[in-house]
Chain A
Amino acid sequence: QQPVQSPQAVILREGEDAVINCSSSKALYSVHWYRQKHGEAPVFLMILLKGGEQKGHEKISASFNEKKQQSSLYLTASQLSYSGTYFCGTATGDRGSTLGRLYFGRGTQLTVWP
């Protein structure tokens, strides 16, 4: 039930944009996005609930396509601080169980160069 992330790695120059995709073979209730810097813990970015919503967080936003069981993370005008590994985490089931098992993808390593 582990979601599949693509691409595995992205290298950008400051100011460039990137898209990270996350897809699941199971019907999803919610998708989480996290960023982990080397040697640190994953940090929560945002959560998207089923309903096809889009959320924004500064220049980082995400969409959730429930029918396609996919989510995408958009990084606009990337900054050096965006470097790290991005993980999606997916939860299935109804709202009552959404804080249950969260399956994480293998991560996308993002490197931003000056």
Chain B
Amino acid sequence: DAGVIQSPRHEVTEMGQEVTLRCKPISGHDYLFWYRQTMMRGLELLIYFNNNVPIDDSGMPEDRFSAKMPNASFSTLKIQPSEPRDSAVYFCASSTRTGDNYGYTFGSGTRLTVV
């Protein structure tokens, strides 16, 4: 298995531009999570899906952020318009229940820089 695949790995954009981050979870995993990591706030959960349905989006900072999961193999996180304070590493992770062992598998992350 190729693991959780995120693209792009790095994104540099100007303030005000739209940014779209992409994620392909591990096949068969029915949970998908979007996290943001910064030095100031650590790892923050933004939103998570179960069977493609958003379950909890209370971590989404504001209306500028939106996430979709149109099918079991693809999810996007969109920021429009982007601001410098959105600069962070964004991780996608997937998981499923297998007995008592259901750790998250994280993708390699997208390092976003908004200038």
Contacts and interface: CB of A to CB of B under 8 A. Distances in A.
Given A40-B108, A42-B104, A107-B42, 20 more contacts: A41-B108, A41-B109, A42-B43, A42-B91, A42-B106, A44-B105, A46-B103, A47-B101, A47-B103, A87-B43, A98-B102, A99-B31, A99-B95, A99-B97, A99-B102, A100-B48, A100-B55, A101-B56, A101-B59, A104-B42
A105 B44 CA distance: 10
B50 interface: yes
Interface string A88-103: 0100000000111111
Contacts of A26: none
B87 to A, nearest CB: 16
Contacts, number: 51
B25 interface: no
Contact of B56 (A2, A34, A44, A100): A100
Interface of A: 2, 32, 34, 40-47, 49, 87, 89, 98-107
B113 to A, nearest CB: 15
B41 to A, nearest CB: 9
A101 B103 contact: no
